[in-house]
Amino acid sequence: MSVTAAVWWASLAAFLIVLVLIGLQLARIARELVRIERRLSGYAGLPIVAALARAESSGARIEAAVAQVQPLEARARTAVEVIKRGPLPREIVVAYVRVRAEIAAFRAVAPRRRG
């Protein structure tokens, strides 16, 4: 066997060893990924994860409520200005009394269901 052939065989053996080691590392990585996936799916059932999801939806509701504050503030300022101008006109008082009576009559006919 010549020196060149021995170098080629040694290089081929080293290359095959490196390929085997790479394959072993890939197999180890795959096992670790499966283990991490199982652990993460186990974490999904924890109560804290459900609480975080509820907190996220609550945060979205709070953001929506905060976004609606400005129009409500403008309506409140308008109402305060109307109140400052003086007493309500008689037509508004009569309409309020009529609506209140109709609501009371409706509640008497159709009581609320509890449940």
- Residue 45, classed as helix, strand or coil, is coil
Sorted by where each begins, the domain ranges of the chain are 1-67, 69-115
Banded model confidence at residue 70, pLDDT cuts 50, 70, 90: confident
Backbone φ and ψ of 88, nearest 5°? -70, 150
Written in H, E and C, the secondary structure of the chain is CCHHHHHHHHHHHHHHHHHHHHHHHHHHHHHHHHHHHHHHHHHHCCHHHHHHHHHHHHHHHHHHHHHCHHHHHHHHHHHHHHHHHCCCCHHHHHHHHHHHHHHHHHHHHCCCCCC
User: pLDDT tens digits for 75-115?
Assistant: 888 888 877 777 777 888 889 899 999 988 888 887 777 65
Using CA atoms of 111, 112, 114, 115 in order, give the dihedral in degrees to the nearest 10.
Answer: 120
User: pLDDT tens digits for 17-62?
Assistant: 999 999 999 999 999 999 999 988 888 888 888 888 899 999 999 8
> Residue 12's pLDDT is what?
94
> Residue 79's pLDDT is what?
85
User: Quick check: 15 pLDDT over 60?
Assistant: yes
